[in-house]
Structure 1
Amino acid sequence: MIVGIEGIVEKKDPTYVHINVNGLIYEVQVSINTSNAIQESRVKLYVTQVIREDANLLFGFKEMNEKKMFDTLIKINGVGPKVGLAVCSTFTPETFARVVTGKDVGMLKRVPGIGPKAASRILVELADFIVDGSEEDSSSGAMGEAVMALESLGFKKEAILKALAGSSGDTSTLVKEGLKKLQRL
């Protein structure tokens, strides 16, 4: 499984780039946001590899959050890589999180290839979509672990996020703090 690619950009198009990796040139499908972010000749992309009966496709992303968004979308029944890439081209991960949180079907229908039924299904299945503030921040990993721990205890995700808003620390500290606040809610 290919999870990343680094090399020299041979050709760049709004929807794909050709990357030369030590003499091997890979075609990597990219969102318009990622294409715009590629400014230098040397590039490093996070990659999702999709293997089908008739093709072996690479989808590249400059930001890890965009890759996570794409990976989450293509897991939804009826949403393929083409539609996933269209969503990534239309929204940044932060904007998409707001669309999902606000259950904004109208905004989601603006994406090419998504109609009212598909938009509704995506919003229902992604009701708990969260974007990490930064991949490098270790506290975001602790926050995710704390949320999962509290969910396993039977608390609703919305209540957990409300209780942990503004909190920081390691996983055990966040869980303890979350439990104290959740008892009061």
Structure 2
Amino acid sequence: MIVGIEGTIEKKEPTGVHLNVNGLIYEVFVSLNCSAQITKNNIKLYTTHIIKEDSQTLYGFYDLNEKKLFDTVIKINGVGPKVALAICSTFTPSTFAQIVSANDVTMLKRVPGIGPKQASRILVELSGFIIDGTDENGSSNSNTLEAALALESLGFKKELVAKVLTSCTATDTSGLVKEALKKLQK
């Protein structure tokens, strides 16, 4: 599995780059947001490698939060890589997190290829799910995400976990889990 790629840009298009890595040229599909961030000739991208029966494709991300967004959305039934990349092209991870928390179907319908039914299904699948998107350093939000996943693995409902974690004051993962468990036991 290829999780990252670093090389020199041979060709750049709005939704893809050809990356020369020691003489081997890879085609990497990127979002419009990622493409806009690429300003240098030598770049490093985080990648999601999708292997199918008839193809192998690489999807590249300049920002780790955008990769997490793509990987989360692609797991939803009926959402393929093209729609997931369209979501990444339309919204930043933090904006998408706000859309999910607000359950805003109208905003999600702005993504090319997403109709009202699919928008509703995506929001239902992600309801209560915390997307790490507001902190580019990945500090407190990744801790909140890890705490949410830990609490969900203990059997607590996503909605309840999300509600309790918003009222917690701790910043580290273990502190968040301990504080949330105390509140969940009441």
TM (norm. structure 1) is: 0.88
Match for residue 95 of structure 2? 95
| Alignment of 1:144 onto 2:148 | no
- Could you tell me how far apart the structure 2 residues matched to 1:163 and 1:149 are? 17
Partners of 1:163 and 1:181 within 8 A in 2? no
Distance 1:148 1:70, change over 3 A: closer
- Give the secondary structure class of the aligned counterpart of 2:167: helix
The Cα offsets for residues 60-91 of structure 1, whole Å up to 9 and x where unpaired, read as 00011111111111111111101111110000
TM (norm. structure 2) is: 0.88
Match for residue 124 of structure 1? 124
Aligned residues: 181
| Alignment of 1:10 onto 2:13 | no
Match for residue 59 of structure 2? 59
- Could you tell me how far apart the structure 2 residues matched to 1:131 and 1:104 are? 15
Partners of 2:146 and 2:173 within 8 A in 1? no
- Give the secondary structure class of the aligned counterpart of 1:34: helix
Distance 1:140 1:87, change over 3 A: closer
Question: Deviation of residue 168 (structure 1)?
Answer: 1.7
The Cα offsets for residues 18-49 of structure 1, whole Å up to 9 and x where unpaired, read as 00000000010000000000000000001011
Match for residue 159 of structure 1? 163
Match for residue 115 of structure 2? 115
Question: Deviation of residue 154 (structure 1)?
Answer: 3.2
Partners of 2:130 and 2:148 within 8 A in 1? no
The Cα offsets for residues 81-103 of structure 1, whole Å up to 9 and x where unpaired, read as 01111110000000001111111
Distance 1:90 1:170, change over 3 A: closer
Q: What is the identity percentage for the equivalent residue pairs of Structure 1 and Structure 2?
A: 59
Distance 1:170 1:90, change over 3 A: closer
Partners of 1:103 and 1:123 within 8 A in 2? yes
Partners of 1:28 and 1:58 within 8 A in 2? yes
- Could you tell me how far apart the structure 2 residues matched to 1:30 and 1:118 are? 22
Question: Deviation of residue 130 (structure 1)?
Answer: 2.0
- Could you tell me how far apart the structure 2 residues matched to 1:78 and 1:110 are? 17
The Cα offsets for residues 140-163 of structure 1, whole Å up to 9 and x where unpaired, read as 554334333444263622332223
162, 177, 180: which one aligns with 1:178: 180
Measured on the aligned residues, the alpha-carbon RMSD in Å equals: 1.9
- Could you tell me how far apart the structure 2 residues matched to 1:81 and 1:153 are? 30
Question: Could you list the runs of 5+ residues in structure 1 that have no partner in the other structure?
Answer: none
